[in-house]
Amino acid sequence: MDQKIIETKVNIYHLTELEPEIQVLINKAKEQVQQAYAPYSNFFVGAAVLLENGALFVANNQENAAYPSGLCAERIALFYANAQFPDVPVRAIAIAAYTGNDFVAYPITPCGSCRQVMLEAETRFENSIDIYMYGTECIYHIENAGQLLPLKFEKKSLEHDH
């Protein structure tokens, strides 16, 4: 039997320890929770995406009574950014969640579908995306989507000899 150990490196910060451009990105994600449509879960999520050209896109989760028909803030922001600038890599994404009349104390992590979309954005442009997840107690920073999805399904997974 062989064994494979998978580790994820998580940098933990407070907002003031981050560079100003990333603080703005996180604050934009926080602002977006107010625009989210989450009447079923009452779990409001905001996301902000920063492209390599400096363009910034924001989005929020949109629920639907038929749960699978809704969409996460992260995917909306990433798809919107790619629709506007299809040839520009994503530099960073920030995510914030609000429930029970306050932001979550500890960061939430993206769902599996959002992780897969982030991974595709990375492989599409062959560059890492910095992922910042906001909580009132701390901010998690992951240096790339592969850290969030280490056993990933990617383009080479579709090849016969893989």
Q: Give the closest residue to 44 by CA, choosing from 60, 66, 28, 65.
A: 60
Q: Catalytic residue at 74?
A: yes
**From 63, 74, 137, 154, active-site residue:** 74
Exposed, middle or buried by CB within 10 Å (0-12, 13-18, 19+), for 159?
exposed
Distance (Å, rounded) from C-alpha 126 to C-alpha 90? 10
Computed over its alpha carbons, how large is the radius of gyration of the chain?
16
Q: How far apart are CA 12 and CA 141, in angstroms?
A: 6
Rounded-to-integer distance, Cα 115 and Cα 132, Å: 13
Residues with catalytic roles: 74
